[in-house]
A and B are shown apart, each in its own frame.
Chain A
Amino acid sequence: DTGVSQNPRHKITKRGQNVTFRCDPISEHNRLYWYRQTLGQGPEFLTYFQNEAQLEKSRLLSDRFSAERPKGSFSTLEIQRTEQGDSAMYLCASSLRGGRVNEQFFGPGTRLTVL
């Protein structure tokens, strides 16, 4: 049983460039989440999908950010015109709807550095 995977693990880019991250959830999980974690802080919620539908977006998700989950499987998070303030760890998680706990299983994250 493979866990949540994320690619790339590290990304260094110059300010103003676009970047795209990919997340592959646990295969039977229908919910997928994106979080952002900056140094010394806990993860902050960005958005989540149930199957292919994006059901909630945080105010943190400015119009430069877009997330998709076209077939209800993997998801991509794109940041356009990156800024130095976008430097952070981007975490993806997945869960299975139903059950009492609905714990979210996290991937290893993509660390973004914007120069």
Chain B
Amino acid sequence: AQKITQTQPGMFVQEKEAVTLDCTYDTSDQSYGLFWYKQPSSGEMIFLIYQGSYDEQNATEGRYSLNFQKARKSANLVISASQLGDSAMYFCAMREINFGNEKLTFGTGTRLTIIP
């Protein structure tokens, strides 16, 4: 069974600093995808970045990058130059890529607060 673990319930970071949000996963599948979503107080989940298990390069999307360490089964999100608008809940999620499986399994999230 797939499982996502996020061990940081909350983090406080000074504006303009970089921040790393931890995510470890467990799966017996060789083919899977890892996602990060942002959930502001409004409630809507916003897709940030994706990493496939066979991708050789770490994914990057603007200020977001994913530090993918396959052997350690970790997929940490790095946000560079944090902004006040980055304050939100952040969820790591995984989908095992096999026929018929479309569900995302989420971690419990990390609440990030950016301090001015």
Contacts and interface: CB of A to CB of B under 8 A. Distances in A.
Is B truly associated with A?
yes
Contacts, number: 59
Nearest to B37: A106
A62 interface: no
Nearest to B52: A100
B25 interface: no
Interface stretch (A17-25, A41-49, A66-74, A79-87): A41-49
Interface residues of B, number: 25
A25 to B, nearest CB: 14
Given A42-B91, A55-B100, A56-B100, A104 B47 contact: yes
A89 B42 CA distance: 12
Contacts of A109: 43-44
A108 B102 contact: no
A111 B93 CA distance: 22
B35 interface: yes
A55 B45 contact: no
B11 to A, nearest CB: 16
